[in-house]
Structure 1
Amino acid sequence: MKAVPKVNKEGLYLEDALVDDTFSGVVPFYSNMQQGILDVLTTTENVTQPEGEVPNDSESTISGYIIGIPVIPGLFRPRFDLEAWNAYEAGVSAAQDSFQQAMSKWQALPEEQRGDMPVLESPAQPTLWIEGLTPEEIEALTRPQPIEPDEMDRLGSEMVTRELEALELRQQNEAQGAQIVGLELRLLSLENS
């Protein structure tokens, strides 16, 4: 068994699904699909079902797809490009048809006239996993968040505030004490005169 991505109808990653090790390709899953049907779909190699073709239940609708291609690491919100996949599948099918025709023509020729055997030239698989978030959404996610102080920081800050208040009170006491001493000295000087 292996885990493969499950995506919604827009191709956005939902979760992983466990499938048979031989599973590959893209297979739709339906809104009221029973687990048994899912097991049958995921144990068949390269199962494809044309879009719009639904199981026997007339109330079934495509809810998403099970993807046999691993997600590229580093994406914030992976999205499978279903249009690129369909175009790639059409290109592979056209290349196979062309190869079959060329092979049939090659085999129909006498051995002396055949030349080199035709080669299947499939199109290169495009990058099918793309970023599902806009650059603005990525910037909002990656922007440094303000750090909320923990309990120790908060208590330390309060302690510093209290010490500053105590220092201010001491300075006020010293100033008032100096004023009192000044007044007492004036009283003494008045009494002595």
Structure 2
Amino acid sequence: MKEAVITDTLGVFRETTLVTDDVAGVFPIYGHPELPQVEGEEDAPQGSEVDSEEATPEPVLTGYQIAMPVTPGLYVPKWDFEAEAWVEALTPEEIEELKKPQQPVSVYERVSQLEAENASLKASAARQNEDFQNYMEFSMQEQAALKEQQARMNADFQELIESIAT
């Protein structure tokens, strides 16, 4: 296993992930935008005239997975799609600002910062958990639909066998 980088649509570093050693290159990541709830839509009977194809939005590009080593020494890595290399996303002025010595932070300020960071991490974990739950529900629905389809096909096949035998 090796590390790959997840970027936003501009190629700016967001997080890391693990990929198998044989993966190399740049891969787009697609997601589905949230559907707005149409008033009265929840009351529509199943199988109504609303076409499910129309209700499903097209996937949108949400970022990239880049399985190329990040150049050491970058403050905020950004993938340059034309040069196919990692570059610095920060301006020289932003880097100078980072290099300035920071004022000492009081214990109370630091605790406050850590509490805010903790709340942010909890919210992120909750979002990821919700995404996983949604994926699992979708997967289970798809599996149930496939089982139903298989059962219908088995019944049709059995009828065909019986009709041939008689």
* TM-score of Structure 1 vs Structure 2, range by shorter chain: 0.3 to 0.5
State which structure, 1 or 2, has the greater radius of gyration over its C-alpha atoms. Answer: 1
Instruction: Calculate the TM-score normalised by the size of structure 1.
Output: 0.40
